[in-house]
Amino acid sequence: MTAGTTGSAAVIAGGACAFPARMDQDALWTDFFAPRLGNSRVAERLYRAAGVRHRHAVADPVVEDVSTWSTQRRMERYIDEAPGLGKEAVGAALADAGLSAEEVGMFAVVSCTGYTTPGLDIRLAADLGMPADVQRLMIGHMGCYAALPGLGAVSDYVVARRRPAVLLCLELTSLHAQPTTDDLSQVITHALFADAAAAVVLRPGDGGPGGGGLSVTDVAARTDPATSGHMRWDITDLGFRMELSPEVPAVLARHVGPLVDDLLTRHGLAVDDVGAWAVHPGGPRILDTVARELELPADALDASRTVLREYGNCSSATVLIILEELRRTGKLASGKPVVVLAFGPGLTLYAALLRGGT
């Protein structure tokens, strides 16, 4: 998808995020995990190495331990909690773009943490007042990179149909907390993941610099099926269980350079031309690997590190939260290209090239 080369483009005209209650990372360790892990120094070291200070969750384990809940009960809770967060994020994003819900032609919802039929897309479209003929798309179980194929799909719709579209990423990872054990991979999972909703509104535009937003110029992907077992999201009777291999950074190190080089080269660009980076913070080692392999300046991933520190890993919503952080700090104002990177099961890498800026 290369909308920016066709004389038209889908432009990100607005965005917003919504979060449930905030949790303090140190308090979570002291009040919940430490007693259940026998005050293990190894577990504490891994927990604190996640680089997270605060997270948000609909189910704070200190208040409400859902780890023994059935999958059915977790899904029921998802549909209780998700619509409110989704409505808040989409409503604010539409207001930011200066558009009404009645103008939306396509509504895409991304989530790997909850399932229901009728889906969240149908419930929110009706609640927000989107038209009866709005086209809807549900993207499920793709994991942390899913915002980017979602962005590609809604961008293609906007270019082809010349109508606005909305992308919502909503993840409630806290509903999939697993029973606390001495499995160190689960310690890392419990230290990283958090809940959030993030939405962007796209409208037709010319894609030129100063055109009132970031145009979605291209989306690229690369999957290494030989490493598919390194990152999994297994459905169990006790919710969805995340499995993360310590080998993930090594796999990313092999692929992230060629992926980004291919994406930039076909648009006559190089890494030095990029003005801002929105890189999914799967953890500090992931960010360190990307920075090293791409030879980025020391401060290039500051927004990603800030989001990891203050919000944790919010799965698919995270890169949209990082874009909001970049906008808040004025890093999108230069008009230089922006690269968005995310990673997930497959093992899959996705990248998007955005151009323009406000």
**Range 282-285 contact pairs with CB under 8 angstroms and sequence separation of 24 or more:** 282/144, 282/192, 282/248, 282/313, 282/343, 283/50, 283/51, 283/188, 283/192, 283/308, 283/313, 284/49, 284/50, 284/51, 284/308, 285/249
The pLDDT of residue 206 is 58
State residue 180's pLDDT score: 86
50, 184 contact by CB (below 8 A): no
Catalytic residues: 144
Nearest 5 degrees, angle CA 119-CA 122-CA 126? 145
45-77: per-residue pLDDT in tens?
999 999 999 999 999 999 999 999 999 999 999
Which residue numbers in the chain have pLDDT < 50? 1-7, 207-211, 358
3-class DSSP state of 51? coil
How far is the C-alpha of 279 from the C-alpha of 281, rounded, in Å? 6
**What pLDDT, in 10s, does the model give residues 160-174?**
999 999 999 999 999
* Distance from the Cα of residue 145 to its chain's centroid: 6
Sequence-separated (6 or more) residues with CB below 8 Å from residue 302: none
Q: Torsions phi, psi of 211, nearest 5?
A: -85, 15
Q: Which fold has domain 9-205?
A: Peroxisomal Thiolase; Chain A, domain 1 (3.40.47)
Domain with CATH 3.40.47.10 in the chain: 9-205, 210-356
337-351 b/e (C-beta count within 10 Å ≥ 16 → b):
bbbbbbbbbbbbbbb
Residue 263 is encoded by which pair of tokens? 């994406």
Q: What span, in angstroms and rounded, lies between the C-alpha atoms of 242 and 190?
A: 10
pTM of the model: 0.94
What pLDDT does residue 208 have? 40
pLDDT the model gives residue 212: 55
Residue 188 is inside which H or E element, if any? helix 184-192
Which has the closest alpha carbon to 314: 184, 168, 163?
168
Q: What pLDDT, on the 0 to 100 scale, is given for residue 126?
A: 96
Which CATH class name applies to 210-356?
A: alpha beta
Class of residue 2 by CB neighbours under 10 A (exposed 0-12, middle 13-18, buried 19+): middle
Q: Give backbone dihedrals phi and psi of 313, rounded to 5 degrees, phi first.
A: -90, 110
